[in-house]
A and B are shown apart, each in its own frame.
Chain A
Amino acid sequence: MDDLRELYQATILDHNKSPRNFGKLPLANRFAKGDNPICGDKLQIQLEVDGDDRVVDVRFDGKGCAISTASASLMTEFVKGCRREEIDELFARFHALVTGNPSESVEVPELGKLAVFSGVREYPVRVKCATLCWHTLRAALSQRDEIARTE
């Protein structure tokens, strides 16, 4: 059970049960769908982005596992007010966190609460679950007219 609590930390379980920024965004001007075809996970991200390429507001909805729902929920809290380059940088750090070598220690103060996903590195097949929302967010920011996929 301890190993499981390492992966499913209280914050993850909480955000899975009560996802933040969940639903539709009436003033959205960017949008993308994310699809994890292997799992059947699907999510949509809606953004309100200002002239400075800054995320003013964000919402997500869809269906997924606890890791993917909590990751999307925590991400939306984290990226509000961020500019695109900042988001790219955050994603790079987040990606390194969830794909890192399990034996190396994890210290990522700049990721704040997102550090709860460090347990994912023990489960390579779950990395896609944690990163689907980020791929989708970046697709929305680039206004690519396509469905973001983790495959």
Chain B
Amino acid sequence: MSAADARHPDSEYDVAAIRRDFPILGSTNRGKPLVYFDTAASAQKPQSVIDAIVDFYQSGYANIHRGLYQLSVEATSCFEAGREKVRSFLGAAHASEIVFVRNATEAINLVSMSWGRQELGPGDEIVISAMEHHANIVPWQQLCLEKNAVLRVAPMNDRGELELDAFAELLNERTKLVAVSHVSNALGSINPAKQLVEIAHARNIPVLLDGAQAVPHMPVDVRDLDCDFYAFSGHKLFAPSGIGVLYGKLELLQAMPPFLTGGEMIESVAFEKTTFKPPPHRFEAGTPDIAGVVGLSAAIDYLTGIGLERIAAWEHELLEYATLALSEIPGLRIIGTAEKKAAVLSFVLDSAHPHDVATILDQEGIAVRAGHHCAQPVMERFGVPATTRASLSLYNTREEVDVMIRALHQVLELFG
């Protein structure tokens, strides 16, 4: 009996119905039914998100926080209701701890340029991990250059798991911040975020978690994690691209200077001096992506409607099924075999380069990513120039995994 015949323990999980919610999943790629295995790069959008944006532009749109007319007042409540929705989604204490940005990259840059510039001095240290996305490396590297500070990198083992002891040893009285991913985009490793926070907090070091790959796949509670900052992108959470979130503990945000300046974030402006609004508005200069917040709210409703626990369970089963199927392909090596792992399968083949693999999969309708996944140091760590990455999500099926396995046999046929 193949794993595909096994009855799913969550018989209520109606993946066919979920797939119908995503119009693009009915489309084709190079003439074949689309198999979308690139959700870690960006998630597809359910009809409810698309409808929410269309409805908002058709009947609810105006600029926010300034109009005295009803439409603007309503658009403002819609936007602020989105903030409240994100607060509840993340389990934050206050809505004012939720700052809207463009994406996780901007969220991390905000912390680096506002908090980092204020708090860091020469000789201070920032600790990141060996599995970070470039978005959680480069902003800190730049800050360290500017401040003559030192970037330290906590190592991972050959399975792609963070080495906790080595991490703890890196922390010292000069460490000003720990910035690590909650889930690795290139490897899928789920980091023990709560434990990392405990270790850092024992030394009074604040922690930023890059949650871009975590929030779409598992329940996240920032108060339970007790992290100081949490960043994620809407577009990986089935919301539109262009909207993202920075969560920051209120006392930290209150002590931070503005990031971008201009309209919307000020209290009063005179040529002599400007005063700024309190958080979160202090960090939201200019007209924001209003419809993006509307889309993000609808995406959160969609996900919580299904339930993150159930999504995580479905994805985990897909991951196990795909891991087993891939491991039966001769000459294939999975990069990233952490015990706690999200449904990300990075792999290399002895006989074919990831680009050739991706082109052949593309020909069969399968969308995967091939390359360094914005994590060049991870590739370096595993001694590969690139990998092919299949990232699975709530709308993927075992049958789609089978399509990929058949296409990989074609790769072997061509290159074997």
B-contacting residues of A (Cβ < 8 Å)? Answer: 1, 3-5, 7-8, 13, 16, 38-42, 63-67, 123, 126, 129
Contacts and interface: CB of A to CB of B under 8 A. Distances in A.
Nearest to A8: B414
Given A7-B359, A40-B372, 5 more contacts: A13-B415, A38-B372, A39-B355, A41-B385, A65-B353
Contact of B353 (A3, A7, A38, A64): A64
Nearest to B380: A40
B68 to A, nearest CB: 49
Contact of B386 (A40, A67, A126): A40
Given A13-B414, A38-B371, A65 B355 contact: yes
Given A13-B414, A40-B372, A42-B385, A66 B352 contact: yes
A97 B362 CA distance: 22
Given A4-B410, A42-B385, A66-B353, A126 B359 contact: yes
B193 interface: no
B208 to A, nearest CB: 27
A3 B356 contact: no
Given A4-B410, A67-B355, A126-B359, A39 B371 contact: yes
19 contacts: A4-B360, A5-B414, A7-B359, A8-B356, A13-B415, A38-B372, A39-B386, A40-B376, A40-B379, A41-B355, A65-B354, A65-B355, A65-B356, A66-B353, A66-B356, A66-B415, A67-B355, A123-B362, A129-B355
B363 interface: yes
A3 B363 contact: yes
Contact of A123 (B359, B413, B414): B359
A38 B370 CA distance: 9
A67 B385 contact: no
> Which 5 A-B pairs have CB atoms at the shortest separation, nearest pair first?
A40-B385, A65-B353, A65-B355, A40-B386, A66-B356
Interface in B105-159: none
A50 to B, nearest CB: 34
B356 A67 contact: yes
A129 B371 CA distance: 12
Interface centre among B352, B353, B354 (most CB of A within 10 A): B353
Contacts of B359: 7, 123, 126
Interface string B353-385: 111100110110000001110001001000001
Nearest to B386: A40
Contacts of A1: 410, 413
A13 B360 CA distance: 14
A8 B363 CA distance: 12
Contacts of B386: 39-40
Contacts of B370: 39
Contacts of A65: 353-356
A3 B355 CA distance: 16
Interface string B203-235: 000000000000000000000000000000000
